[in-house]
Structure 1
Amino acid sequence: MEAFYYMVFGVLGMIVAATELSKSNKDRINTSQPFNSFKNNYLVVYSLMMAGDWLQGPYVYYLYTTYGYGKGDIGQLFIAGFGSSMLFGTIVGSLADKQGRKRACVTYCITYILSCFTKHSPHYKVLMLGRILGGIATSLLFSSFESWLVAEHNKRNFDQQWLSLTFSKAIFLGNGLVAIISGLFGNMLVDTLSLGPVAPFDAAACFLAIGMAIIMSSWTENYGDPSESKDLLTQFKGAAVAIASDEKIALLGAIQSLFEGSMYTFVFLWTPALSPNDEEIPHGFIFATFMLASMLGSSFASRLMARSSLKVEGYMQIVFVVSAASLTLPILTSFLVPPPEEKGGGISFAGCLQLLGFCTFEACVGIFWPSIMKMRSQYIPEEARSTIMNFFRIPLNIFVCIVLYNVNAFPITVMFGMCSIFLFVASILQRRLSVIADKTKTEDWSPLRERDEEVTPLTDV
């Protein structure tokens, strides 16, 4: 069965290479030299930020176990991280809009570096502080960088369609290639060089420091609403009113929460799903395969968004349905494929089928990220962008905390079924968003048509 892993990884690698190399002019967006310099600068910074994040992920749980903590204590540490992101997310988002997105990005680097330093201590309270700092950093990572990019892109009067190119490249590199390299680099530090489980965190701090230096030396500041008359509470209320008064923003927030909630739940579930009888599976290699599938998805997304005839709101309905179907495979295999009688051994036939379904889901994740970024750039008002984006993460973090707290209370098939239902609901909401967006555009064009009808008779006289 070991050959199956290499076969899946090899096939995905060839498809990704073929997809990138076969792009025609129709699949590419013609841009200017100033934009390319701006885009490349952002991609370097974003890749360094994601390297700092990806290097830590595979070793957090393992590090806690080496300090002698059990599953319950580790679960509480993880809940503290998501809870911190939920509690402090909207506050740091509002501060980013008011005090500046560049400052917020620098704050992310400092906060995450401090979080990395806490990993050197085996004391539970210090590790808890590190998780709280990590939760704050995560909120900044998933709001401030995108907010800075969109505002700076518009400030420099670049073509709006070029944003989709930056989004897709950022996901292709940051959530794909960088994730794979980070996993291999971390494995080299811990296993090959025997530097211990803290080494990836030290390396992450170095990458974050390099990225912070680039931000401070080359980025300009931009704001949401720098008005002195607006305090944080006023900004907070303004963001809530914007979500409540605009159905498109509310739908977008619900769609994002449903998909990301399912995605983070999948992160906890794929290991027991592929090894229900303690089968020996190469976790690192499977993780790299998932990231390769995500790269494939982002590559497809760049093609889709390059075509003006295709609407993001349209094809994302299909993506959500496919992702919902892919997570039903663990349910189907539990009924249709008999489990192996012996424990241990290699991956089972059911596991092979599920791995293919999980790769499909990861490809959908790769399409989701640049697509949701593009929709956020279209629908979320600039003056409260970071605040609103962190509003969206509140239900997500609540959901993940509940899942972590009750991860042993429900069968794994129930958990996957719940994720599939969420993703199917997301497709329905995406359909509703598409209808409203089309209706809004029609209403926006109707006054122009009436004006043209009034002008046309004058030209005939």
Structure 2
Amino acid sequence: MGVVIETVVWEPKPLLHIFLFCSSFFCVFLLPCMSTISNRTSTYLDLDSFSTSIPASFLRFQRSFLLVYSLASVMEGLESIYGEFEYAYYGLSKEHMVVSLCAGSVASLLIGTSLGILSDIIGQRKVCVLFCFLHLVVGFWKSVSRHPSVWMASICLSLASSIFSFGFETWMVVEHDKLGYRKDLLNDTFWLMAFYESASLIGSQALANWLIGGNLKRSVTFPSTAIVFLSTMSIIYIIRQWKESPPLTAIEGYKASISACFRGDKRVWFLAWAQACLQFSVAVFWILWAPTIVADGREVNLGMIYPCLLGARMLGSTTVPWFFSGPSPVRTEDCLLFAFLTSGFVLSIVAYDYQDIGFLVTLFCLFHACVGLILPSLARLRTMYIPNELRGGMISLSAAPASAVVLLVLIQKGYYQNIGNAVVMAFAAFGLFTAAGCMHLLKRWGKQPHHDVHKL
């Protein structure tokens, strides 16, 4: 008599999705009420200290930019989700996948680092159009070719991801300053960027699932066609709706300015190192999260866990205005110190020992909630300490150490199998702890709250 063993596929309970998304939207919808109470309280202290009026032109500017940023996030999400399916469809071995990822990391390290400097010199709008053009080329190539070059696609998409990490933020800040809006309004745009990015990535997963469907032939061509359409619409919208701002600095003076900024201000080094540690830990997470969950051989519905992680990031980003809106006594460095320590402890637990899948998913959600808090908070500190004319170059240069270490991890762990997942996770946790130390030093040597060179 045979024994039938039922296979149970683990997936998060629907209540987790509902809790994360409802919490995020409650934080957003309740914020105006709390802001009104805070503003009424502040008027008793100083009638001229706080202004609640937001120009209608700024809201149009903000919505227009968030539309472009959301389209860019959808393109990034489609390529990342569809890329894994594409590797399996073309039958690439693990070694070929690792080599293609290494090629992308090399491109990010050697070329992507210079793109931030280039954006400061020629203008951020041109570089953002280049981002869309790279997606357009890869999407068109995959649509018309039966056997596209995986190497070239990896290189182009890695360069596009490098531009995404600095180009749109720098472009928005420069345009915001050129139009003369209040500096404190930047904080709202920063956390909305993180919120919309996470929501767009979830939307890209839903769109990819709908486009792939059950037809294998359709699943290879339709996502690429969608990327071609989105990138074309983004290029047209950017060119027609946004005028190019003149470069803020000349080529001759840029090298001297960025060298003086690095040599003359240690706080810039603290910000750069914290940004590098965050990028490395996030990259390590997306490489290892799936192998970590399925390490014991259990079947897991990863597609249901992915929106939970991004929902946690959305929730983390919605907490930013609660900390920093109005005359908040909380300093940005204190929040970042707590967030870096928490995320470091989370990765330390994951690296120390394998946990139950439910507990791992909880830890991963907590990690992404911290990331959602860290991203807009670091952008706020960059506005305080880094001149606009150097912002793109500083962000891209800070990403260079992260790209170099990711390349080393891919070679030693993915290709030669010299190190294990726990070692990589522990190294990422150590980097986050050092980033927390940088925030502590930045608080000691930094400016007072709500005051900076830009009169934030």
Q: TM-score range by the shorter chain?
A: 0.7 to 0.9
Query: Unaligned stretches of 5+ in structure 2?
Result: 1-8, 37-51
Q: Is the contact made by 1:94 and 1:236 (CA closer than 8 Å) also made in structure 2?
A: no
Whether the 8 Å CA contact 1:52–1:205 is kept in 2: the answer is no
**CA drift at 1:328:** 2.4
**1:382-461 matches, cutoff 5 A:** 382-407=388-413, 408-438=417-447
Q: How large is the Cα RMSD of the aligned pairs?
A: 2.3
Amino acid in structure 1 at the alignment position of 2:155 = I
Counterpart check, 1:19 vs 2:27: yes
Give the one of 293, 296, 299 matched to 1:277.
Answer: 296
1:130 maps onto 2:153 in alignment: yes
In the alignment, structure 1 residue 257 sits paired with structure 2 residue 258: no
SS in 2 for 1:413: helix
Taking the aligned partners of 1:18 and 1:325, their CA distance within structure 2 comes to: 28
Q: Is the Cα–Cα contact under 8 Å of residues 119 and 127 in structure 1 kept in the other structure?
A: no
User: Structure 1 residues 236, 279: closer, same or farther in 2, change over 3 A?
Assistant: farther
Question: What's the counterpart of residue 349 of structure 2?
Answer: 329
1:332 Cα offset (Å)? 4.7
Taking the TM superposition and a 5 Å limit, the aligned residue runs for 1:61-460 are: 61-120=84-143, 121=145, 123=147, 126-174=149-197, 176-192=198-214, 195-227=218-250, 230-231=251-252, 235-236=254-255, 238-309=257-328, 310-334=330-354, 350-407=356-413, 408-438=417-447
- Asked whether the equivalents of residues 147 and 386 of structure 1 are also in contact (C-alpha less than 8 Å), the reply is yes
Runs of 4+ in structure 1 off by over 6 angstroms are 439-444
Distance change (3 Å), C-alpha of 1:129 and 1:33: same
Q: 1:3 & 1:109 partners in 2: Cα distance?
A: 35
Following superposition, the deviation at residue 439 of structure 1 comes to 6.9
- Aligned-partner Cα distance in 1 for 2:181–2:151: 43
TM-score by length of 1: 0.86
- In structure 1, how many angstroms separate the alpha carbons of the residues matched to 2:214 and 2:318? 32
Tell me if the contact between 2:352 and 2:422 (Cα under 8 Å) persists in the aligned partners.
no
* Aligned residues of 1:52 and 1:207 also touching (Cα < 8 A): yes
C-alpha change, 1:279 and 1:215, in structure 2 (3 Å) is same
Deviation at 1:307, TM superposition (A): 3.7
In 2, are the aligned partners of 1:50 and 1:179 still within 8 Å (CA)?
yes
Does residue 14 of structure 2 align to residue 6 of structure 1?
Answer: yes
Question: Structure 2 CA distance, aligned partners of 1:15 and 1:442?
Answer: 32
Q: Which moved more, 1:147-156 or 1:131-140?
A: 131-140
Return the alpha-carbon distance in structure 2 between the equivalents of residues 83 and 155 of structure 1.
35
Judge conservation of contact 2:11–2:305 (CA < 8 Å) in 1.
no
Q: Using the alignment, how far apart are the partners of 1:374 and 1:111 within structure 2?
A: 29
Per-residue Cα deviation, 1:204-248 (whole angstroms, up to 9, x for no partner): 221122111111111121244343xx25xx634642442232111
Q: Alpha-carbon deviations, 1:59-103, whole Å to 9, x = none?
A: 213212321211111111111112111111233222221222111
Cα distance change on mapping 1:235 and 1:164 into 2, 3 Å: same
Which one is further off, 393-402 or 404-413?
404-413
Structure 1 residues 247 and 439 mapped into 2: Cα distance closer, same or farther (>3 Å)? farther
Q: Which amino acid aligns with 1:99?
A: I
> Shift in Å at residue 196 of structure 1?
1.5
SS in 2 for 1:171: helix
The whole-number CA distance in structure 1 between the counterparts of 2:324 and 2:243 is 28
Offset, 1:278: 2.3
Residues 295 and 193 from structure 1, CA distance in 2 versus in 1: closer, same or farther, beyond 3 angstroms? farther
Q: Distance in 2 between matches of 1:426 and 1:440?
A: 20
CA distance in 2, matches of 1:153, 1:78: 36
CA contact (8 A) 1:296 1:363 kept: yes
Q: Please tell me whether the aligned partners of residues 333 and 440 of structure 2 are also in contact (alpha carbons under 8 angstroms).
A: yes
Distance 1:402 1:303 in 2: 39
- Report the number of matched residues: 424
Tell me how far apart the structure 2 counterparts of residues 425 and 318 of structure 1 sit (CA, whole Å).
12
Distance 1:198 1:242, change over 3 A: farther
One-letter amino acid of the counterpart of residue 52, structure 1: M
Structure-2 change in CA distance of 1:386 and 1:443 (3 Å): closer
Deviates more, 1:213-222 or 1:351-360: 213-222
Distance 1:118 1:240 in 2: 40
Which of 54, 64, 68 is matched with 1:45 structurally? 68
Q: Which residue of 2 aligns with 1:452?
A: none
Aligned match of 1:32:
55
TM-score scaled by structure 2?
0.87
